[in-house]
Structure 1
Amino acid sequence: MKYYAVIVAGGSGNRMQTETPKQFLLLKNLPVLMHTIKAFAQSDTQPKIIVVLHENQHKYWARLCEEFNFNIPHTLIAGGTERFYSVKNAVESIKEESFVAIHDAVRPLVSTVLIDNCFRSAEMQGNAIAAVQSSDSVRMLKNGKTSALKRDEIYLVQTPQTFSLEILKKAYKQDFTTHFTDDASVVEADGYEINIVEGERNNIKITYPIDLELAELLLKN
């Protein structure tokens, strides 16, 4: 069986309060995106790596790869106006029967164990997404009223989200809606049940400045 990793890097950096997109910020003296690519390259599954970047960032990425002597093989694909279209572009570029892990570029601390677990589970069940159980109390706000939810029934979704290529290609033929917040929501809307693999607390998404500081600390340890 063939394996692919689609690393989606469309962040603008707005919430980081910086003009530099999050995937290019330095983490332990290396751009965030490079840490993410390394994790997949070091996994036992050894997927072929596709990086999705906005077209106007391709030359900048090439300069970064040269500057940091980064030579892990990967294919660049142009991103779209929404994450949905970025993933769709990558999925359509894959021609051979395979399993595909889709991952946020700004989750650089993902472990090789989690990557391989997601691939193995997807092979058995058709799909598998990483998620962690909520450790906080959770409330839902609806029509101006709040209600408590059972936190042991609440999971915080991460990536990788791994699917057979057949499932992805079919799901991404749907028209885009704002309800599609991740790949699992796209696949679910096409009639599939989603399977959860236990994620990792360290698999944080770098969104705010404090997240970058936390990632630095976790890498030191």
Structure 2
Amino acid sequence: MSINRRKIAIIVAGGSGVRMGSSIPKQFLPLAGKPVLAHTIQAFANAYEDMEIILVLPLAHFDYARDILEGFNKPPRVQVIAGGDTRFHSVKNGLDQVKGDAVIFVHDGVRPLVTAALIHRCYEAALQYGSAIPVVPMKDSIRVVHENGNAAADRDRYKIVQTPQTFSASILIPAFEQPYDPLFTDEASVVETAGHAIHLVTGDPENIKITQPQDLVIAAALLGGH
């Protein structure tokens, strides 16, 4: 039987609609009858009854968030806070709200198809190893580009990283006390730079990130198949 530790999801929703060709930020676009971000919030609220959610987004998007939360029949426990200039700073703002021990999930607001099974898998692994980063295999052939040309690479040695990137608070919060580095592309890179090993878990191919118009079509089809 697993330990029941406090669970906090920091959902980062700072994107714009530029690549979507939309004036509405992508996390607020409709998907199967409700905004993308509503699906994401609901997934974490459903995964564990005691899940606490910290929603991090630009101040200019607070009205969108309020409308989403008012649309829930049973509103989940969500704290809405302002993000920063980069993902690093937005996550740090979320972490500043966390007091005491917890398992912390950091998730992209535009990954609305995250399942309870994946959230549970990350939680259990984080309890055991201190971190849990979901990854999926690469399907395409890849090549490494260098100054004098390019060369084939063994795709089996590379993985595609997803979220929720999940950590014990005792590891994640101190890691974010480091100065910002542009090479911090995700939470795992921050934690690794702080000297911690990163534990990988099996991700979910359907846990896609909505970044372009065709992604909404794919996500709608996947939702329709469930």
TM bin, normalised by shorter chain, reads: over 0.9
Task: Say which of 1, 13, 27 aligns to 1:9.
Answer: 13
Partners of 1:114 and 1:213 in 2: CA distance? 22
Partners of 2:50 and 2:22 in 1: CA distance? 33
The Cα offsets for residues 72-120 of structure 1, whole Å up to 9 and x where unpaired, read as: 2211111001010000000111002111010000000011000010010
Structure 1 pair 45–133 and aligned structure 2 pair: CA distance change class (3 A): farther
- In the alignment, structure 1 residue 215 sits paired with structure 2 residue 219: yes
| 8 Å CA contact 1:131, 1:196 repeated in 2 | yes
Partners of 1:198 and 1:151 in 2: CA distance? 16
Matches within 5 A, 1:117-132: 117-132=121-136
Give the SS at the match of 1:216. helix
Question: Structure 1: which 4+ aligned runs deviate by more than 6 Å?
Answer: none
* Unaligned runs of at least 5 residues, structure 1: none
Structure 1 pair 195–57 and aligned structure 2 pair: CA distance change class (3 A): same
- In the alignment, structure 1 residue 146 sits paired with structure 2 residue 156: no
Matches within 5 A, 1:155-174: 155-174=159-178
TM-score, with structure 2 as normaliser: 0.94
- In the alignment, structure 1 residue 48 sits paired with structure 2 residue 52: yes
Partners of 2:126 and 2:161 in 1: CA distance? 16
Give the SS at the match of 1:81. coil
One-letter amino acid of the counterpart of residue 201, structure 1: P
| 8 Å CA contact 1:45, 1:116 repeated in 2 | no
* Unaligned runs of at least 5 residues, structure 2: none
Task: Say which of 194, 201, 204 aligns to 2:205.
Answer: 201
One-letter amino acid of the counterpart of residue 142, structure 2: V
> Which residue is equivalent to 2:190?
186
Deviation at 1:44, TM superposition (A): 3.6
Partners of 2:141 and 2:184 in 1: CA distance? 25
CA RMSD of aligned residues (A): 1.4
Partners of 2:70 and 2:53 in 1: CA distance? 18
The Cα offsets for residues 164-190 of structure 1, whole Å up to 9 and x where unpaired, read as: 111111110111111111110111111
Deviation at 1:15, TM superposition (A): 0.7
> Which residue is equivalent to 1:96?
100
Give the SS at the match of 1:122. helix
TM-score, with structure 1 as normaliser: 0.96
Deviation at 1:4, TM superposition (A): 0.5
Partners of 2:118 and 2:161 in 1: CA distance? 13
> Which residue is equivalent to 1:114?
118
Deviation at 1:69, TM superposition (A): 5.4
| 8 Å CA contact 1:102, 1:160 repeated in 2 | yes
Structure 1 pair 94–162 and aligned structure 2 pair: CA distance change class (3 A): same
Structure 1 pair 144–181 and aligned structure 2 pair: CA distance change class (3 A): farther
Moved more, 146-155 or 85-94: 146-155
Deviation at 1:142, TM superposition (A): 2.2
One-letter amino acid of the counterpart of residue 23, structure 1: Q
State the identity as a percent: 45
Partners of 2:148 and 2:38 in 1: CA distance? 43
Partners of 1:142 and 1:100 in 2: CA distance? 38
> Which residue is equivalent to 1:137?
141
The Cα offsets for residues 96-153 of structure 1, whole Å up to 9 and x where unpaired, read as: 2111010000000011000010010000000011110111111111225212111111
Give the SS at the match of 1:103. strand
Moved more, 117-126 or 146-155: 146-155
